[in-house]
C-alpha cells in the first residue's frame, strides 16, 4: 500500500481509506469489524467516519458508526491508525443533521459539543483529521475556523479538512486562515468518480496551487460502478435500491442522480475497459481515483467483507496512459452522467 501526505501536514496515510458510513445500518457491528480487520491487514491505515453516520441519517442511530469504530480501535494500537471524523454543517440547508435535534451549525457551540461527543464515542483523546461535513456559505468562516484552531492548539485535533465544499468556499477558508493566523484546511472530501468528474473542473486546480489534498469519497459512484445496478437491476439490500422506494425524500433525489440512464451506460463502458485489463470495474475505479496527482487517499466503502478484495486489488495498480485515454474517451462521449 502506497502512502501520501495530507496537504502540507505531517500526517501520511495509506492511499486507500476505508469509509464507514454504513456501519450500524447496512453492516452490523460484527461485519463492520471483519471489514475493518481485513482492510487493516491489507495495509489500510486511514479510516473515515462522521458524527452523523450511519446513513441514511436518523436520530435513533446517529453516532452509532463512531461507537462501532471506537470499539474496533481498542483492538489496535492507537498510533498505528489515522482516524478522520466530521462535524455536521448547518441543518437549515440541503440536509438536516441527525445530531443535536437537527439544530446544528458551524459555530463554537456546535463544534465543541460535536468534538467532545466524537472523542467519547471513539474512545480516544485525539482525532487525526477533523472535517466540516458540509459548509455554511451564508455564515462567517471565521466562527468555525477559530473554534477548530482552538482544538488543534489543545491537541484534541491534529489537522483540519472540509467536505462537500466548493472552489469558492475552499479559497475563502484558506484566505481567512491566512489572514487570521488560524490552522488551515489540509484536505477536502468531495464526491469524485469515473461517473462524476466535476471536481476536475475547478477544485483540482485549487488543490494543486494551494497544497490541499483531495480525499475523494464515492469513487465507485455510490456502488453503481460495481455494475450491480446494470440493466435496471435493484439488488436487495443495496443502498439505492432502498432509496428509490423513498418517495418525496432527499434520498430518492440522490438515488436518481447516481442511478440513471447515462450513469449506467458509462458504467457498462468502463466495465468493458476493466474486463480487457483482467480486473473488475471496482478495481479500475479505485485505481483511477487514487492515481490523480491532487489525491492523497481514496475513500472506499463496503457493506460486506467480500467486497474488500476488489478494493485492495487496486493497491498496486497503475493505469497506463492508453487506459487513461480510453477512460477519457468515455467521459467525453457521456459527459457528466450525474449532472
Residue 263, C-alpha cell as written in the block: 450513469
Of 53, 130, 141, 229, the active-site residue reads 53
Cβ(55)–Cβ(238) below 8 Å:
no
Mark whether 126 is an active-site residue: no
Residues paired with 23 in a beta bridge: 27
| DSSP code string of 143-177 | HHHHHHHHHHHHTSEEEEEEES--HHHHHHHHHHH
DSSP-derived 3-state class of residue 223:
coil
Cβ(254)–Cβ(339) below 8 Å:
no
Q: Sign of dihedral through CA atoms 101, 105, 107, 112?
A: positive
What residues contact residue 1 under an 8 Å CB cut-off, 6+ apart? Answer: 14, 15, 16, 42, 43, 44, 45, 315
Cβ(154)–Cβ(111) below 8 Å:
no
Say how many residues make up the chain.
Answer: 339
As annotated, the active-site residues are: 53
Amino acid at each position: 500500500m502506497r502512502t501520501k501526505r495530507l496537504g502540507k501536514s505531517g500526517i501520511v496515510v495509506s492511499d486507500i481509506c476505508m469509509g464507514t458510513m454504513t456501519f450500524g445500518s447496512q453492516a452490523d457491528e460484527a461485519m463492520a469489524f471483519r471489514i475493518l480487520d481485513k482492510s487493516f491487514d491489507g495495509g489500510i491505515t486511514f479510516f473515515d467516519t462522521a458524527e452523523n453516520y450511519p446513513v441514511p441519517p436518523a436520530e435513533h442511530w446517529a453516532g452509532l458508526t463512531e461507537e462501532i469504530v471506537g470499539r474496533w480501535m481498542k483492538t489496535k494500537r492507537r498510533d498505528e491508525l489515522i482516524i478522520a471524523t466530521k462535524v455536521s454543517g448547518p441543518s437549515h440547508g440541503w440536509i438536516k443533521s441527525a445530531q443535536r435535534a437537527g439544530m446544528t451549525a458551524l459555530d463554537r457551540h456546535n463544534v465543541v459539543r460535536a468534538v467532545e461527543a466524537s472523542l467519547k464515542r471513539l474512545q480516544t483523546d485525539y482525532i487525526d483529521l477533523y472535517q466540516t461535513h458540509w459548509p455554511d456559505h451564508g455564515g462567517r468562516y471565521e466562527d468555525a475556523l477559530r473554534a477548530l484552531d482552538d482544538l488543534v492548539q489543545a491537541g484534541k485535533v491534529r489537522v483540519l479538512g472540509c467536505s462537500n465544499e466548493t472552489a469558492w468556499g475552499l479559497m475563502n477558508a484558506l484566505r481567512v486562515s491566512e489572514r487570521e493566523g488560524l490552522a488551515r484546511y489540509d484536505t477536502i472530501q468531495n464526491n469524485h468518480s469515473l461517473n462524476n468528474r466535476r471536481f476536475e473542473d475547478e477544485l483540482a486546480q485549487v488543490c494543486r496551487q494551494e497544497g490541499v489534498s483531495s480525499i475523494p469519497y464515492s469513487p465507485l459512484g455510490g456502488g453503481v460502478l460495481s455494475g450491480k445496478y446494470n440493466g435496471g437491476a435493484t439488488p436487495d439490500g443495496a443502498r439505492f435500491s432502498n432509496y428509490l422506494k423513498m418517495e418525496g425524500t432527499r434520498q430518492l433525489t440522490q438515488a436518481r442522480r447516481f442511478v440513471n440512464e447515462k450513469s449506467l451506460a458509462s458504467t457498462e463502458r468502463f466495465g468493458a475497459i476493466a474486463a480487457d485489463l483482467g480486473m473488475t470495474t471496482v478495481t479500475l475505479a479505485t485505481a483511477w481515483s487514487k492515481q490523480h496527482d491532487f489525491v492523497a487517499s481514496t475513500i472506499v466503502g463496503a457493506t460486506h467483507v467480500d467486497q474488500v478484495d476488489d478494493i485492495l486489488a487496486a493497491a498496486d495498480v497503475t493505469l497506463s496512459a492508453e487506459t487513461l485515454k480510453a477512460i477519457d474517451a468515455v467521459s467525453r462521449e457521456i459527459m457528466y452522467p450525474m449532472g
